Structure 1
Amino acid sequence: MNHATALSPPRRLRADAARNQQRIVDAARELFADHGLEITLDDVAERAGVGVGTVYRRFANKKELIAEVFEQNIAEFGDAADAAVAHPDPWQGLVRFFEYACTHLATNRGFSEVMLELENDMERFAAVRDRLKPTVAAIIDRARDAGALAPDVQTSDFFALIHMVDALAEFSRPVNPDVWQRYMAIALNGVRADSMPRQPLNVPALTDEEVELAKSHVCSGRKR
């Protein structure tokens, strides 16, 4: 018997299964980012180009798929934080990670919704925070020690500012999906040392009409 020939089909099936799983996860990431957590596994199967049965063989339910996508997002946050610590310019390292974090939350509805759910699950929320906090603290400490950051800014302030930008992005998304970038720059200007250059405000502020329209969207959402 040719053992190499006999063993090749299982290897091919495992590779196919791995590719299908990654296609499912990639599709889920796109859908969660665009539409939040209300999507179905049928939606994921259609986007991935696989049968619904294939999705259910890999993930028993949507919760398992959300967990897989979330874990990949957190891993990428960790990589971005590591890159910020390794950046030769401590201030630019902080700016790049802050921009990465704000962009990821502001443009990814599903990730933001999972983070909100985690805040009601203190054990899981603490686990995520504890995975990222030491590296983020190192980013803050390097910038402060270099004289680039206001001396009284703490790591918890950094996380709070990210969530503030995300909250503004959620509020303004129906009327102006890009204005959060303005407030990201304002937040960085608020924590920089006096010697550091200001971030330009390249995005115009919300108009009075946009504010009122965004408020009406919030109110209509609460009535549903």
Structure 2
Amino acid sequence: MTSADDPGSPADRQPGPGLRADAERNRERILAAARRLYASHGLGVSMACIAREAGVGKATLSRRFATREELVNAVFADRMDAYAAATAEALADPDPWHGFVGYVQAVCAMQATDRGFADVLAMTFPAAKTLEARRDEAYNGFLELIARAKASGHLREDFTDRDMVVLLMANAGVIAATGNAAPDTWRRLVGQMLRAWAAPGADLPPLNPAPAPTALYRAMVRLARTASGREADME
């Protein structure tokens, strides 16, 4: 029995409206599957796993998206738009420091809701031109945001854009490590980093409580089990 997902099915061999409709359905199924898997497991998910989740063959996946970068570009285009929009919103804030704080919180919240996007923000994809163009747009806006926040006297002069990259990397690690065991831990991390970056006298949002000892213990056990599973897969 064949289907539109099989490499040798009529939908893949014959041109016409039917092929275009099947191809578009396959593309949407692949994107939906990739979004689910990337959100829950990060970008380490294999293309083969995405094909299985989507219910299509590897050949069908390759025809729609020849490389992982192409797939990542398609999956996260809207998230990168939201990332750029967060920068624009922060720049529009009449209070530069408030805008800076809001930007940091918004971007880290995006990471927390989607592990795949957490990876995207901490990595570069030179072959994903559209994705990188939006990242560059947001980055240039962030540089302006930094300059304004420093000029207001509320952001430390020794802060650099690279400090934000470090936070994104650390936040991605915290999100991956804590999972559902201590899901708000990232908020504590962001709050502490804002305090480290703030100049004396800067207004700061309330600091989230530290995770409860039991929640943190569950997160540590979860992290250890995840690491053991990875080691087993490599053997």
**TM-score (norm. length: structure 1):** 0.71
Kept after mapping to 1: 8 A contact 2:73/2:128: no
Cα RMSD for the two superposed structures = 3.7
Distance across 2 between alignment mates of 1:214 and 1:198 = 32
Kept after mapping to 2: 8 A contact 1:143/1:149: yes
Change (3 A) 1:193 1:107: same
Aligned twin of 2:231: 223
Question: Which digits, 9 at most, give the CA deviation of each residue in 1:3-61, with x for residues without a partner?
Answer: xxxxxxxxxxx99x98996786466434421233425245346xxxxx88xx8599345
Change (3 A) 1:147 1:171: same
Q: How many matched pairs?
A: 205
Change (3 A) 1:104 1:92: same
**AA of the residue aligned to 2:160:** Q
Distance across 2 between alignment mates of 1:209 and 1:57 = 42
Q: Please say if 1:163 is aligned against 2:169.
A: yes
Q: Percent identity?
A: 29
**2:64 paired residue among 50, 59, 66:** 59
Aligned twin of 2:10: none
Kept after mapping to 1: 8 A contact 2:115/2:175: no
Aligned twin of 2:78: 72
Report the structure, 1 or 2, having the larger helix content: 1
Any gaps of 5 or more consecutive residues in structure 1?
1-13, 46-50
Distance across 1 between alignment mates of 2:98 and 2:31 = 32
- For residue 160 of structure 1, report the CA deviation from its aligned partner: 1.6
Aligned twin of 1:92: 98
**2:113 paired residue among 104, 107, 117:** 107
Question: Which digits, 9 at most, give the CA deviation of each residue in 1:105-128, with x for residues without a partner?
Answer: 23311223345553xx67769946
Change (3 A) 1:116 1:83: closer
- For residue 210 of structure 1, report the CA deviation from its aligned partner: 4.1
Distance across 1 between alignment mates of 2:188 and 2:145 = 22
Aligned twin of 1:7: none
Distance across 2 between alignment mates of 1:216 and 1:27 = 27
**2:198 paired residue among 173, 192, 197:** 192
**TM-score (norm. length: structure 2):** 0.68
Distance across 2 between alignment mates of 1:141 and 1:155 = 10
- For residue 130 of structure 1, report the CA deviation from its aligned partner: 3.5
Distance across 2 between alignment mates of 1:169 and 1:90 = 28
Kept after mapping to 2: 8 A contact 1:174/1:214: no
- For residue 182 of structure 1, report the CA deviation from its aligned partner: 0.7
**1:43 paired residue among 47, 53, 61:** 53
